[in-house]
Amino acid sequence: MRARLTAEQQTALANATDYNTWRTHAVDLDAQAGMDVWKSDPHSPFYQHRLIQQRLINLRNWRKAGDWAQVIFSLREGLHRNLGNLANPELYKYTRVGTKFLIDEYITEVTSLLDYLCDHEIPDLPYTEKLMFFRHTGQSFGRSALMLSGGANMGMFHIGVIKALHQHKLLPRVISGSSAGSVVAAFVGTRKDSELDALFKGDGMDFQSWQRLGLREMLKQKSIMNIDALERFLRKNLGEYTFEEAFKKTKRIINITVSPVAKHQHARLLNYLTTPHLLVWSAVLASCSVPGLFPPVKLITKDRLGHEKPYMASIRWVDGAIQSDLPAKRLGELYNVNHHIVSQTNPHVLPFIADQTRKEGWQSFLMDLVKSEVKFRSKQIMQFASYGFETGIIKNLLEGAVAIVDQQYYGDVTIHPPMRFKDYRRILSNLTQEDFQEWVLAGERATWPKIAMIRDQTTIGQTLEDCIIRLKRKRQRRNVEKLA
């Protein structure tokens, strides 16, 4: 286990304002604790080190012998997302930076071989077969997605998470968002890489999204906040892109969850595949329409001539987090996603969130037991209460509450802010530039300790995706040359 920190060491880590500073302190602490010895020893009960060790030896020997046919055969047959339990978070709880050297060496060797196969002419591996190899291997391996939860103003924490991932070239192309998370997903999904630095700084951002209604309007609209103010905020900061237009601009695949008001409809995942002509700001507006705070809204799409019109005009939509805060199943169906990085800021989830590694000691065991019991009993009470109402707003609210409690709020990697009561007090107030920067830095700081684990879990999949893109570009260049 990690050695305990002194107050001075804790302050140095907690106050780091950039990754390099944080990493320098973390590496020094690992060295002082003698963790290089632990890293050097491949043995661990948490993964199959002998399997990984033998595969590494074989791949190196085949590369040295130039036996590319055997390399290709072995990679095609043996590349799996969690081979030998490599993705076990237990392997990352002992050190602050990195894990076993064997794991690093294996991942480096695999990605190096994939890049070589992609970029070099290989005997008996013509272009068509090479592209098929990468497509089939990538389909088998799967891909990663970043899922951004709801959380009102706390959702600005997601921008810091994205900033840290982007700076380390670890930001997945597939990003989902619900409620506040949909705002951030749309921010990123409508901006090119060259425009992201301005987003991370908050340059030109209009933070005036919350506007309370007067009492008469509250009673009339049955909501507290002005939906028109939120719409103005979204249109100003997102533009008038459809999902298809946003995808063509950024090549990022943004997905926004919305929930229907009608009973005989299901939660929807909106994206360039399911609703290509839907306006992104409209999807975000619906995903942010928390019942009681904002009224239900219609979705807006563009028709064949580019004119705005309602999408499914008879149906109104509300907050996506109610039924599908983290749409893991649907992302798997649409994009072959089998690895999920979650940025979790839901206020009702943070008090119960826990680390993914094993807990040691009775105190930790009892805390987890209490959290599980509270969740189970809350769901049970609300289900029983809903049986007393056949229809009406109370039954709908209770059923919605059950759906919220019953969801899975974790991923393979879960990043979340510390729970601070002062954040709950200002959750529905307009942010200042200082508030925004505080949330961004909090997101970065929470992500830095996870960088090594995310890199190890995503690098092979990202390499496979990049190789397919490079091969397609190579084919395009050849076609252009032929025409010339």
Render the burial of 159-193: b for 16+ CB within 10 Å, e for the rest: bbbbbbbbbeebbbbbbbbbbbbbbbbbbbbbbee
Close Cβ partners of 327 (under 8 Å, ≥ 6 residues apart): 147, 176, 178, 255, 257, 267, 269
Q: Which of 176, 179, 182, 324 is catalytic?
A: 179
Structure tokens at 107: 């991942």
Residue whose C-alpha is closest to residue 319's, from 273, 284, 349: 284
Structure tokens at 37: 């010895």
Q: Does 355 qualify as catalytic in the annotation? A: no
How many beta carbons lie within 10 A of that of residue 418, not counting itself? 9
Residue whose C-alpha is closest to residue 286's, from 208, 393, 212, 182: 182
> CA separation (Å) from 235 to 13, 148, 461?
39, 20, 35
Q: Whole-angstrom Cα distance, residue 266 to residue 307? A: 27
Residue whose C-alpha is closest to residue 462's, from 54, 68, 165, 105: 165
The answer to whether the beta carbons of residues 180 and 288 sit under 8 Å apart is yes
Phi, psi dihedrals of residue 144, rounded to the nearest 5° = -100, 155
Close Cβ partners of 314 (under 8 Å, ≥ 6 residues apart): none
Structure tokens at 468: 């397919």
Q: Whole-angstrom Cα distance, residue 86 to residue 376? A: 32
Q: Which of 30, 319, 423, 456 is catalytic?
A: 319
User: Three-class SS string for 57-95?
Assistant: HHHHHHHHHCCHHHHHHHHHHHCCCCHHHCCCHHHHCCC
For the chain, the distance separating the N- and C-terminal CA atoms, rounded to the nearest angstrom, is 63
The answer to whether the beta carbons of residues 409 and 344 sit under 8 Å apart is yes
Q: Hey, what amino acid is at 150?
A: G
Structure tokens at 171: 């930001």
Q: Whole-angstrom Cα distance, residue 322 to residue 287? A: 9
Q: Does 319 qualify as catalytic in the annotation? A: yes
Residues acting as catalytic residues: 179, 319
